[in-house]
Amino acid sequence: MNYQLRNYRSVFTLFSVGVCIFILQSCAVKKYIPQGELLYTGAYIDINADSLVENPYGLKTELETVLRPEPNSKFLGMQPGLYYYYKVQREKPGFINKWLYKQFGEDPVYQSDVKPYEVEDILVNRLENNGFFYSQARATFTEDPDKKEASVTYTIKVPSPYKIETYQIDSVPSPLQEELEASVAKSNFKKDIRFDLTAMKLERERLDAMLKRKGYYNFNPRLFNI
């Protein structure tokens, strides 16, 4: 029993020492950042939505999925992946540093890697696909030279959404006209629902599948002007 206890204590001590070394080394990342560069710590969205916009928090969450690039990961507030990246850049990094880099290493993401104008375009495009036409996005960097860090905030102005006024079938040859009208009557597209490009594409696919089930195999879904 005592022998097992001593073994557990030895393992715990070695583990504790290893964790301390791991954390202390991770703290040294800042000194390796090249002159003129700032480490990118991430992006934030500040959304200014019109009062008619429903669930702006959900919209903000969706927009956060398109933010690029991803900042370097952290462990307990530290960045061991970056530390071992910088260590292997030396002339003689040593076997241990090479092994640790393969296990944990990450290439650094700098402020210069961020393309805010491209992200602004993606954000506006995503909003327009959801019916928020004439939205605006503006990027602002926050820099901390002492910490050698920089983040970016995207301030987004979201107007009230465009809504569907009518959804109807244009004149097409019979019996397609009757088949489509019957299917459209069961559709979720109704007056005053928000414009949604993805939903429209799914509706086109739904109508196409319905017609093919009824034997219209040569029908081209691109003929749907929706």
Query: Computed from CA positions of residues 74, 75, 76, 82, in that sequence, does the dihedral angle turn out positive or negative?
Result: negative
pLDDT digits (tens, 9 = 90+) for 41-54: 999 999 999 998 99
CB contact set of 187 (below 8 Å; sequence gap of 6+): 167, 203, 206
Q: Give residue-wise pLDDT tens across range 104-159.
A: 778 999 999 999 999 999 999 999 999 999 999 999 999 999 999 999 999 999 99
Q: Is the dihedral of CA 77, 112, 119, 150 positive or negative?
A: positive
pLDDT in tens, 208-226: 888 888 887 776 655 555 5
Rounded to whole angstroms, the Cα distance separating 219 from 75 reads 55
Q: What is the pLDDT of residue 41?
A: 95
The sheet with strand 136-144 has its strands ordered as 39-49, 149-158, 136-144
CATH architecture for the domain at 33-71+109-162: Roll (3.10)
Amino acid identity of residue 218, one-letter, is N
Section 173-183 average pLDDT: 81
Distance between CA atoms of 74 and 53, rounded to whole angstroms?
35
Question: Considering Cα of 180, then 182, then 184, then 188, what sign does the dihedral take?
Answer: negative
Q: How far apart are CA 199 and CA 208, in angstroms?
A: 14
Q: What is the pLDDT of residues 49-105, one digit of tens each?
A: 999 899 999 999 999 999 999 999 887 777 888 888 888 777 677 777 777 767 777
Question: Do 101 and 84 touch, CB atoms closer than 8 A?
Answer: yes
For the chain, domain boundaries: 1-32+77-106, 33-71+109-162, 176-223
| 8 Å CB contact between 159 and 132 | yes
- Rounded to whole angstroms, how far apart are CA atoms 132 and 105? 41
Pair type for strands 136-144 and 149-158 = antiparallel
Contact 149, 42 (CB under 8 A): no
Task: Please state, in angstroms and rounded to a whole number, the distance separating the CA atoms of residues 96 and 131.
Answer: 54
